[in-house]
Amino acid sequence: MRKFATFTAAAILAGALGMTGAMAQTPLRLSVETPEGEPLNYMLRQFAAALETEAPDAFEVEIFDGGVLGDEIAQMELVRAGQVDVVPMGSDVVEIDDHFALFDAPFFFPDAETARTALDGELGEMYAASLLERTGLKLLAFGELGFRMITNNVRPVVVPADLDGLKLRTPGSSTRIMAFETLGAAPTPMNLGEAYLAMQQGVLDGQENPFGTIREMSFHEVQKYLSLSRHVYTPITLVMNAKTWDGLSAEEQEAVMAAAAAAKAASRAQSDENTASLLSEFEAAGMEVNEIDLAAFKEAVPPIYEEIGAIVGPEFMDKATTVVEGK
């Protein structure tokens, strides 16, 4: 656990004079599954730093990272229960709001800019309303994990048949598991922190994650093949417990949203930097890199879309498709 506490000038002066009654700070507990440097952790820390800039001495912030409070599923339950106040969520958010199954639909977003524009606009508003209604969480901002790539130790993945039988670590997302099963793989949900050893020991053949997570979790050290599948785009969904939000003053709420906007910008900038720089690092580490046959994969995914569409709901799915396609 890492604790970040701030102290007002008045409190310091009061202490120096032997006085009591320092100005009260609003406590905020922030938690994340991953270690420092990994994109989820990075966005959360950027939020904490920006909050101090936006509202100096207004908040007393504690950060629990590295999974000390559990994996992502546990983080989501903690924030819903109000035991922590702010968490960044990756793929597993679908387990508390099935509208997020959209992000498990292969090749739904053609590029990052399309995804960002949609999430900063009408699609983001749809998700904010859904999260509040279904989970009691206030959406603060969408950061970016990015497009996910497939790594493994058996063979390059070029066409869907190359996935046959591969034991791939996935998040707990039931729709991600379904998608890989449909394509012939053997998806294995596992805590992210356990995947390195499982791949090193051969319990797993591989995994699928964006560049930043692959690097920060050192997966490139225990994986031979990197297939640039870009099969799904994963945002970072930064949320606050809605009761915590409602308990803030208007000025505090304004500072929180400004800090979230700064964290979003930093997260996306980190994602862009990772996309631009990490491929050469992976190749230098000895990974064999290949492109996939995109046409072959798109030919194989209609059954996945049909099932995901049923889970998301036709109305939400159709509206989201219209937003993303710019119609």
3-class SS string, 164-212: CCCEEEECCCHHHHHHHHHCCCEEEECCHHHHHHHHHCCCCCEEEECHH
Beta strands in 12-91 (DSSP E): 26-31, 59-64, 86-89
Sign of CA dihedral 131, 33, 231, 327: positive
pTM: 0.89
Beta strands in 48-136 (DSSP E): 59-64, 86-89
How far apart CA 170 and CA 186 sit, in angstroms, is 10
Residue 23: the pLDDT is 63
Neighbours of 291 (CB within 10 A): 11
Span 2-320 CATH architecture: 3-Layer(aba) Sandwich (3.40)
Residue 172: the pLDDT is 87
Question: Residue 210's closest CA among 279, 141, 108, 294?
Answer: 279
Could you say which residues of the chain have pLDDT below 50? 1-22
Coil, helix or strand at residue 327? coil
